[in-house]
Amino acid sequence: MESLKKRKLFIYLIVATAFLLVGTFVYALLRDDDPYKYFTGMGDEFDISPDDKHFLFSYYIDGQEGIYKANVDGTDVEQLTSSETDRHHAPKYSHDGTKIIFLSKNPEGINSLYIANEDGSQQKQLIPTSVHVSEAVFSYTGETIYYIGMPAEAFKKAEGETTEGFDLYSVNINGENIKQLTNENYFDMESLIVSHDGKAIYYRLFDMNKEKVTMYSLENKLEKEAAISEALPNDSYYIQLSPNEDKLAYTAIAEESLNSPLYEYELFIIDTEERQPKRLTDFNSSVVAPIFFHHQNQIAFLNYTNWPIDPAKNDLFVLDLGTEELQPVHMAVSNQNSSNWLIKGINQLVNGTTITVIYIIMIGLLITYLHQFHSKRKSYVPAIASLILTIIVFISSVIVAFNVDPWYGIGLGTFAAVLMGCTLLVFGYAFVLNLVGKSRKE
């Protein structure tokens, strides 16, 4: 009688675990896989007002991203823009501080360029949604906006499906007189900077396995590699010039993380004349988006504290370049309470690790059940079935990679690798279980 109860209990546990596994797996496949859907926190881009009194930044509240303004100490936070469908990010001030521009990302991931007054009023879209804008800055006079763009249709295509890439464009603040300044179809193009005299534009390009700083002359309409580019490491990102162009800040891989599985990115600064780099941070994470203050010897930046997990949790810091004093800035944003705490909790629980653990538990229960109520040989059947499933998924990954899509094939290959790890674990469990059972009988 007691043996029958144990058998029923095992069967109930196995069935319940199987339902939980299937339900979790189906939910993971069908859900909107957007890590920022219910996120609350700072975005990954910001700007400093020309008088150094305000931060202009993007902020998520329950998945909705808008543009905000705050004092440099994080107080008096004011929301300037919002949208029920799009995410507003990448804000920039004009040189006189009277206008701002920002990007608006629609549900398809296409960025549109908008301009508004510094208080967020009179918003106007400047570029049609047929173009994807990745970055934009005001000209020195504030009458023109330079932006990096590519056809939206090309942006949505997978790598290798299009030859179109990014190029530099200009448009006036009324949305008229759009000009294409380069015609190179760059794969990677970012870090737009307008020179101190307004006669050139700097940006970072990826060329021949090296990141380089390129200068586009607005006078002769030619591109050339900037002189400072030679002093930068091969992998340098988020390049930013100081207002008088005597210093250049960038992020690069920390030397101590070169031989580790996960690279860490720290903030560096280099004198444009002496060209001797100096490391400024030691966060052991990923520093992004450095920006110099205009009138003070300070630099602000974001620390991606949970690197490389999404959604990114960014902390804002201000570093005094003279005293090297580091000051965190907490944005006092109100109305941060989530109204979707239940679904948010479920989304956090449903991940690859959870599915893997449930799978191992289910196979382990099957092995234990067969060992307890059948025979030693049969206790290996679930592990063998797991091995067969692993082989089927691996073969499918090869077929898909060659005939459908390489990225889908890589995804299935990764899944097969995880299944193999699980299979080895359950084989080990079955072996130990039988070994222990044999020793007890002896």
Q: Domains plus CATH for the chain?
A: 2-31+350-441 (no CATH), 41-341 (2.120.10.30)
Q: How far is CA 359 from CA 353, 354, 355, in A?
A: 10, 9, 6
Q: Is the pLDDT of residue 185 over 60?
A: yes
Structural element, H or E, at residue 110: none
pLDDT class of 10 with cuts at 50, 70, 90 = confident
Q: Is the pLDDT of residue 31 over 60?
A: yes
- Whether the CB-CB separation of 248 and 241 falls below 8 Å is answered with yes
pTM assigned to the model: 0.80
- Output the pLDDT for position 372: 86
- DSSP result, 165-223: -BEEEEEETTS---EE-----BS-EEEEEE-TTSSEEEEEEEETTEEEEEEEETTT--E
- Output the pLDDT for position 136: 97
pLDDT class of 334 with cuts at 50, 70, 90 = confident
Q: Is the pLDDT of residue 3 over 80?
A: no
Please state the φ and ψ torsions of residue 373, each to the nearest 5 degrees: -115, 0
- Output the pLDDT for position 319: 98
- Output the pLDDT for position 38: 87
- 10 Å CB burial of residue 166 (0-12, 13-18, 19+) is buried
Q: Is the pLDDT of residue 1 over 60?
A: no
Provide mean pLDDT across the span 355-368: 94
pLDDT (tens digit per residue) in 370-421 = 988 887 778 899 999 999 999 999 999 999 888 877 778 888 899 999 999 9
- 10 Å CB burial of residue 61 (0-12, 13-18, 19+) is buried
Q: Is the pLDDT of residue 423 over 60?
A: yes
pLDDT class of 231 with cuts at 50, 70, 90 = confident
Provide mean pLDDT across the span 323-351: 80
Reported as half-sphere exposure (CB side, CA atoms, 13 A), residue 173 has a value of: 19
In which residue are the tokens 């000209």 written? 139
Average pLDDT, the chain: 90
Q: Is the pLDDT of residue 331 over 70?
A: yes
Which DSSP state fits 158? P
Q: How far is CA 241 from CA 17, 137, 142, 196, 316, in A?
A: 57, 14, 18, 9, 19
- Output the pLDDT for position 105: 96
Q: Is 120 helix (H, G, I), strand (E, B) or coil?
A: coil
Give the β-pairing of 223-225 and 277-279: unpaired
**Percent of the chain scored above 90 by pLDDT?**
69
Provide mean pLDDT across the span 233-260: 91
Instruction: State the Cα–Cα distance between residues 379 and 426, nearest whole angstrom.
Output: 10
Instruction: State the Cα–Cα distance between residues 65 and 43, nearest whole angstrom.
Output: 8
3-state helix/strand/coil string of 215-247: EEECCCCCEEECHHHHHCCCCEEEEEECCCCCE
Tokens of 186: 């760059």
- Output the pLDDT for position 437: 62
- Output the pLDDT for position 336: 58
Instruction: State the Cα–Cα distance between residues 428 and 420, nearest whole angstrom.
Output: 12
- Whether the CB-CB separation of 403 and 412 falls below 8 Å is answered with no
pLDDT (tens digit per residue) in 50-71 = 999 999 999 999 899 999 999 9
In which residue are the tokens 């997978």 written? 158
- Output the pLDDT for position 158: 63
User: Among 155-164, 203-212, 249-258, whose mean pLDDT is lowest?
Assistant: 155-164
Task: Identify the CA nearest to 325 among candidates 362, 305, 361, 299.
Answer: 299
Q: Is the pLDDT of residue 77 over 90?
A: yes
pLDDT class of 293 with cuts at 50, 70, 90 = very high
Provide mean pLDDT across the span 26-33: 80
- Output the pLDDT for position 156: 75
User: Among 16-25, 146-155, 339-348, whose mean pLDDT is lowest?
Assistant: 339-348
Provide mean pLDDT across the span 434-441: 65
pLDDT class of 438 with cuts at 50, 70, 90 = low
pLDDT class of 207 with cuts at 50, 70, 90 = confident
In which residue are the tokens 């072996």 written? 431
End-to-end CA distance of the chain: 26
Q: Is the pLDDT of residue 20 over 90?
A: yes
